[in-house]
Structure 1
Amino acid sequence: MLSTSQLIITILVASVVTFSTRLIPFAVFGKREVPKIVKYLGNIMPPAIIGVLIIYCIKDGYTFDMKILAPQLISIALTVIVHLWKRNILISISAGTISYMLLIHYVFV
């Protein structure tokens, strides 16, 4: 178990690193034009992240038990539909997560 001072130092280091990663793009680009590759990555990364999250969520679920497979497939479909509709990753992931939790706790018990 970490001591109080170790916990405080850990939190401070994590805070500085997080703040630095947010600050770097502004320090590097300033008022200059954002490079095309950065714009491209900004457009391509959200769907790629959703794809990686979907694969991660179903990687261990190679089963044809419908109590396991159905909630996953329904939630994946809902996530894709909400993302195509709203184009907002936070809303898409939240909708998929909430639907999955509701399905496994109340429908496919």
Structure 2
Amino acid sequence: MESVPYLIAVIAVMTAATFLTRVLPFVLLYKVADHPVLRYLGRYLPPVLMVLLVIYSFKGEDLISRDFLPELAGLFSVLVLHLTMRNALVSILGGTGCYMAVVQMGIFN
């Protein structure tokens, strides 16, 4: 087992690295924050990344299989919640809750 001072130093370095990665973009890019390219990326990049994550998570799945129905229920609930409420947090929590409820209750088994 490592010594306590070593572990404290490792935690301190990880804390500093995490803090710097969160702060440096704001410190270094404050002059170009209103640049049209950054505004464009800020508007369109999050939804594009979400679509890519959905596509990647369903890659290799048998979309016709009965085992895939809980995932489809979760995806459908996210789509409905997001189209009606336009709130990402509600959509994510609702979709996760729907998926977990379907899996735990064994609705599609």
- State the TM-score, normalized to the length of structure 2: 0.74
Distance 1:9 1:60, change over 3 A: farther
Q: CA deviation digits over 1:15-54, x for unaligned, max 9?
A: 2222222212321233665211111111112212221221
Matches within 5 A, 1:61-80: 61-66=61-66, 68-80=67-79
Distance 2:2 2:87 in 1: 38
RMSD after superposition: 2.6
Q: Which runs of 5+ in 1 are unaligned?
A: none
Distance 1:5 1:87 in 2: 48
Q: Give the CA deviation at 1:75.
A: 0.9
Q: Give the CA deviation at 1:102.
A: 1.0
Distance 1:96 1:29 in 2: 35
- State the TM-score, normalized to the length of structure 1: 0.74
Q: Which has the larger radius of gyration?
A: 2
Aligned-residue identity in percent: 33
Q: Give the CA deviation at 1:87.
A: 3.0
Q: Which runs of 5+ in 2 are unaligned?
A: none
Distance 1:63 1:105 in 2: 21
Aligned residues: 108
